[in-house]
Amino acid sequence: MTLHASTRRELLAGAGVLFAWPFVPKLARAEGRDPRMLTIVLRGALDGLAVVAPVGDPDWVKLRGDKALVLDGKTPALALDSFFALNPAMPNLYRLYKADQAAIVHASATPYRERSHFDGQDVLESGLPKPGRAESGWLNRALSGLEPEARVTRRDGRAFAVGPVTPLVVRGPAPVMSWTPRRIQPASEDTMARLLDLYHHTDTELARAIESRMELVTLARTGDPAALAPTEGQPLPQGFPAQVRGYFADAAGTAAKFLARADGPRIGALAFNGWDTHIDEGADSGRLATLLGALDGAIGAVEKNMGEAWRDTVVAVVTEFGRTARINGTNGTDHGTGTIALLAGGALKGGRVIADWPGLKSANLYEGRDLAATTDLRAVLKGILKDHLRVTDQALAANVFPGSADVKAMVGLV
């Protein structure tokens, strides 16, 4: 059997594509349920502290100063409970949280403790305890262990379009269908930097052409050659927020339409790039706020387009790792450890922030710089797969997440 390690090209190309399992889980249907699950991977590492701020921690404002989201700030955070508050860019998630249809698992992470995007994404999507050559992803292995009731049929005769590359999380023995959005995700600075890094090693002429194109776009936007140098606080390109919101909503909303169909798939996965916020992160009104607003719109689009099936749905939003607890010298955050998992759906027992809070004093930070991870993300995913899809404990420990026998499934999520 051929082993496969994800390449940089594949990780970039596989974003924004729905990959779905064309079967209905038999055991869940026998219980009178028709569960749906959508996994959304945020590639680039999410600043969990900027999404769900620990406003009740006495060291929070000390840590981030005027960049800390607070309840009485210029852009007030949305109180979730007496300790945590949600980024104001996410009103849909807040509404769902208040309706007990959303939950947050804070200070969570995969077993990975280094800071390479590609190794971190490999661990996240493979479900293995460390990076390496993997032939399949945890979601596909979970599907391959489920007994299907019936294969999905498309009455209208149309098939899913084939996406550019199947992401690792759904690669494996279980059959998957794929669909690619008509919109193209606007390239972020993070994506362009990764492409340049890739092509500097493989195609230097193309790399130079991309760099020249980027310079021309910058000149056209500003009319000033000095703008070619990075400028702290530079605004987002005109139209970028609307492009991102449109792309996220289109991809997630159309995925939901497929999942909601009586003859549609029941389990799917999407990936969104662009979350690497080293410079001018902008948690309240900048790039991150724009991305979070787009993600919030995507969650709203899933809810709307799932219709009645929303009550049987769980959406899990995950990322490869977190970001540094402190803001860096360019008003961004660097690669970190602990972050959050966002959960939404009518099948959830929501209205909760689940956290074994580690604290933000310097002595409590991982390696003196990161939010310490106190919850293994595999426990969260195991809990959903076990209680929602009825994957067995034995399969979860031995096949879905090998080497995780000591990581118990989080109970009571659904």
Q: What is the pLDDT along the chain (414 residues), one digit of tens a residue?
A: 223 344 444 444 444 556 777 677 888 888 889 999 999 999 999 999 999 999 999 999 999 999 999 999 889 999 999 999 999 999 999 999 999 999 999 999 999 999 999 999 999 999 999 998 888 999 999 988 888 776 554 443 333 332 345 678 888 888 777 777 665 555 555 555 665 666 566 666 665 555 544 443 443 333 332 333 333 345 555 566 888 898 899 889 988 998 898 888 888 888 888 899 999 999 998 999 999 999 999 999 999 999 999 999 999 999 999 999 999 999 999 999 999 999 999 999 999 999 999 999 999 999 999 999 999 999 999 999 999 999 999 999 999 999 999 999 999 999
Residue 321 and residue 339: Cα distance in Å, rounded?
6
Residue 414 and residue 403: Cα distance in Å, rounded?
25
CB 21 within 8 A of CB 268: yes
> For the chain, what is the largest distance between any 2 Cα atoms, rounded to a whole number of angstroms?
66
pTM above 0.75, yes or no: yes
Query: Of 17, 43, 38, 49, whose CA–CA distance to 358 is shortest?
Result: 49
- Residue 345 CB burial class (10 angstroms; 0-12, 13-18, ≥19): buried
How far from chain centre, in Å, is Cα 63? 25
Report the residue count for the chain.
414
